[in-house]
């Protein structure tokens, strides 16, 4: 219990988890001036109580004009595409969410749960990839190592890294700076917008 929010601490087997999930949750809650309290009883289960500050509107708050909002939605309406994407993420829930979201937008999505399985999948399929979306921290082979290996044969492959860490915290660990970044947690709309933007540039 003392280490439950500690980065890289995990009770799972080696290669089964990074120990980053709860530390990411803790960081997000603290950034919003909130609190999280774990309660656990052996043989019974665990629960987390999360307290977030209530939003109170102030007189100076800007009122959103409905016409402006409609115009903005109109601009961002078409987030569909037909490109082929390789999605590499070791957290099943995140991978399933992202894959389903992208398939719903018309993309062809190949899924892998690690860098090693991603390379294996690429050897087994003849599909031309337009974009790689990869988690940064993964067991066996991390995202930057995967990108380095893929770019030995495909120098122009576009890349989006996803991570619970801030982008500037990752920069020093990634030799190849030619990538885009999407912070976890992200919404379906944020993912679709980032993918569309990267593929069109």
Closest CA to 107 of 133, 89, 126, 125: 133
CA–CA separation, 154 and 180 (whole Å) = 17
Task: For residue 41, count other CB atoms closer than 10 A to its CB.
Answer: 8
pLDDT for 68 equals 59
pLDDT for 27 equals 80
Any idea which residue has 């892998």 for tokens?
112
pLDDT for 185 equals 79
Q: At residue 17, does pLDDT exceed 70?
A: no
Per-residue pLDDT of 40-82, as tens digits, reads 999 999 999 999 988 887 766 655 556 655 555 555 568 899 9
Give me the domains of the chain, ranges plus CATH numbers.
1-56 (3.30.565.10), 78-200 (3.40.50.2300)
Which pair of tokens denotes residue 185?
A: 């947690």
- Residue 162 · residue 170 · CB < 8 Å: no
Enter the pTM of the model: 0.62
- Residue 148 · residue 125 · CB < 8 Å: no
CA–CA separation, 52 and 34 (whole Å) = 4
Per-residue pLDDT of 81-137, as tens digits, reads 999 999 999 888 889 989 999 999 999 999 999 999 999 998 898 888 999 999 988
Mean pLDDT over each residue of the chain, to the nearest integer = 82
The angle formed by the CA atoms of residues 12, 143 and 162, to the nearest 5 degrees, is: 90
| HSE of 176, CA atoms in CB hemisphere, 13 A | 22
């Amino acid at each position: 219990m003392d280490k439950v929010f500690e980065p890289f601490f995990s009770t799972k087997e080696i290669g089964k988890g990074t120990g980053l999930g709860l530390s990411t949750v803790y960081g997000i809650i603290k950034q919003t001036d909130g609190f999280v309290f774990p309660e656990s009883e052996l043989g019974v289960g665990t629960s987390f109580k999360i307290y977030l500050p209530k939003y109170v509107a102030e007189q100076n708050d800007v009122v959103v004009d409905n016409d402006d909002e409609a115009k903005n939605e109109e601009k961002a309406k078409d987030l569909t595409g037909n490109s082929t994407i390789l999605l590499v993420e070791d957290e099943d829930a995140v991978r399933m969410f992202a894959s389903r979201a992208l398939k719903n937008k018309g993309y062809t999505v190949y899924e892998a749960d690690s860098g090693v399985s991603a390379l294996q999948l690429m050897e087994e399929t003849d599909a031309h990839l337009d974009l790689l979306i990869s988690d940064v921290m993964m067991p066996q082979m991390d995202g930057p190592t995967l990108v380095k290996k893929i770019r030995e044969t495909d120098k122009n492959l576009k890349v989006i890294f996803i991570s619970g860490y801030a982008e500037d915290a990752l920069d020093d660990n990634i030799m190849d700076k030619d990538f885009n970044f999407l912070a976890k947690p992200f919404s379906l709309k944020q993912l679709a917008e980032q993918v569309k933007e990267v593929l069109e540039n």
